[in-house]
Amino acid sequence: MSETLTPTTGDKATATGILLEDVTKRFPGQDKPAVGGLTMEIPRGSIVMLVGPSGCGKTTTLKMINRLIEPSSGRIILDGEDVTGIDGDQLRRGIGYVIQAGGLFPHMTVAANIAVVPKMLNWDKDRIQSRVDELLELVSLDPALYRDRYPKELSGGQQQRVGVARALAADPPVLLMDEPFGAVDPITRQRLQDELLHIQSELNKTIVCVTHDFDEAVKLGDWIAIFDEGAQLVQYDSPERILANPANEFVENFIGSGAGLKQLTLTRVNEVELASPITAGIGDLASDTLSRLQGAGEQNAVVLDERERPIQWLSRRQLSRLDRHTDAVDPKLPVISEQSTLNDALDTMLVSSTGAALVTGPRDRFLGLVTVQTVMEAITAANDAAQQGSSSAPVGLNSGGIRRGTETDGQAAVQDDAGAAAGQGTR
């Protein structure tokens, strides 16, 4: 393990999306550094969540990556290139940045907001226009409806989506997000999280995201960095291992109660096997559907519209009173996305008291059913995996903040916990 502990060579940096190397930030007039001697690998193509108490240095760490805040010392390396000294504006054009409530320019339309960076990069008009529409589709906003609106004509969730589209406009390899879903209601937040995961499964960006919400960190993060004051890394590991083996009492308190239930947040619906119920189309004879149900020994059938989206979920009894399936959409259908967590699935099932939820994929197409039974089996599997998981965590350590760190400081800190950060070794 020890050869992976000193990420100071060019080779190592190339394998890493982002590398913070012994980075310190001191603000004038503050006696302690906001970020003290932080060394941290952000693996390429992964989502790293930064969590920790208020004022511990999360945002400062994030903003040093795109140099909105200049480090007092240390180096920032992006895809193998030391960017600590390059022009900040140029650097930021290559890094997507999303802040709370989208941070949109109020006097510009949605399209103009998304086009800001492509314009700076001198893209031609047609290319910008088609990119804007493509991105609006990506974040699930109909371009024809939304491209000419102003931010104030959008809901909070829609503004946030446009913020994500804007950050992705020039297809940057790195996306920085500061409390991106902090300003929206819990249901919208869940949807936006699911969409981010959808987008990430397509685009595979290197994402660093600050959040106050530990559940959000567990849901979105490939890796979670838990900071204490001065951006001292207390633990940097997979959500599974942090939940199963919190490094110390600070982390335990941070996780809060219900670590067992939080395991449900670790598994997404697309990782479990879905059941395939009987389905029917609009206009089909209900009696046919009923006899197929009876033949299969099942109780409920799903009615799909012409684009294969679920619109009704009917029991034998409801079917027996029907002639043909109509196109009426049941607004109370227990539908979840394949990117939803099993926690979300269980919530949906409990509210609808059906013991199952309908799962949809891209463009809301019906994929199958997830049942309580599936959820229970997945919890057992997740627990087993957390106990056995062996992939090593990225490097993360502090050199000691105020006193500049030595090699020995850093190594001692990491060896503490099999590669996971354990800043307490140096404090």
Ligand X SMILES: Nc1ncnc2c1ncn2[C@@H]1O[C@H](COP(=O)(O)OP(=O)(O)OP(=O)(O)O)[C@@H](O)[C@H]1O
Q: 332 in the Ramachandran plot: left (φ > 0), alpha (ψ -120 to 50) or beta?
A: alpha
Among residues 173 and 182, whose Cβ is nearest to ligand X? Answer: 182
Nearest Cα to Cα of residue 266 among 394, 375, 404, 172: 375
**DSSP notation for 262-304:** HGGGGSBGGGSPPB--EEEETT-BHHHHHHHHHHHT-SEEEEE
Q: Which of 2, 3, 9, 30 binds ligand X (CB under 6 A)?
A: 30
Q: CB 108 → ligand X: shortest distance, Å?
A: 27
- Residue linked to tokens 């993060």: 221
Decide: residue 29, CB within 10 A, 0-12 exposed, 13-18 middle, 19+ buried.
exposed
Q: CB 56 → ligand X: shortest distance, Å?
A: 4
Among residues 57 and 94, whose Cβ is nearest to ligand X? Answer: 57
Q: CB 28 → ligand X: shortest distance, Å?
A: 7
Q: Does 72 bind ligand X (CB under 6 A)?
A: no
Q: CB 76 → ligand X: shortest distance, Å?
A: 16
Instruction: Compute CA distances 324 → 164, 280, 305, 327, 328, whole Å.
Output: 43, 10, 13, 10, 12
Contact pattern from residue 83 through residue 112 relative to ligand X, giving x for each residue in contact according to CB under 6 A and a dash for the rest = ------------------------------
Q: CB 45 → ligand X: shortest distance, Å?
A: 25
How, if at all, do strands 16-25 and 35-43 pair? antiparallel
- In the region spanning residues 41 to 60, those forming contacts with ligand X, defined by CB under 6 A, are 52, 54-60
How many other C-beta atoms are found inside a 10 Å radius of the C-beta of residue 373?
Answer: 11
How, if at all, do strands 278-281 and 300-304 pair? parallel
Q: What are phi and psi of 75, to 5 degrees?
A: -130, 145
Among residues 368 and 423, whose Cβ is nearest to ligand X? Answer: 423
**DSSP notation for 182-217:** TTS-HHHHHHHHHHHHHHHHHH--EEEEE-S-HHHH
Measured distance CA(159)–CA(386) in Å, rounded: 37
Among residues 56 and 99, whose Cβ is nearest to ligand X? Answer: 56
Site size toward ligand X (CB under 6 A) is 11
Among residues 27 and 324, whose Cβ is nearest to ligand X? Answer: 27
Among residues 91 and 231, whose Cβ is nearest to ligand X? Answer: 231
Q: CB 53 → ligand X: shortest distance, Å?
A: 7
Q: What are phi and psi of 97, to 5 degrees?
A: -140, 120
Is residue 47 within 8 Å of 222, Cβ to Cβ? yes
Q: CB 60 → ligand X: shortest distance, Å?
A: 3
Contact pattern from residue 188 through residue 207 relative to ligand X, giving x for each residue in contact according to CB under 6 A and a dash for the rest = --------------------
How many other C-beta atoms are found inside a 10 Å radius of the C-beta of residue 387?
Answer: 11
Longest dimension (CA), the chain: 79
Contact pattern from residue 304 through residue 343 relative to ligand X, giving x for each residue in contact according to CB under 6 A and a dash for the rest = ----------------------------------------
Among residues 217 and 349, whose Cβ is nearest to ligand X? Answer: 217
Among residues 109 and 398, whose Cβ is nearest to ligand X? Answer: 398
Q: CB 327 → ligand X: shortest distance, Å?
A: 48
Q: Which of 10, 11, 14, 27 binds ligand X (CB under 6 A)?
A: 27
Q: CB 31 → ligand X: shortest distance, Å?
A: 11
Among residues 28 and 106, whose Cβ is nearest to ligand X? Answer: 28
Among residues 69 and 418, whose Cβ is nearest to ligand X? Answer: 69
Cβ contacts of 120 within 8 Å, gap of 6 or more? 93
Measured distance CA(410)–CA(54) in Å, rounded: 25
Interface contacts to ligand X, rule CB under 6 A: 27, 30, 34, 52, 54-60
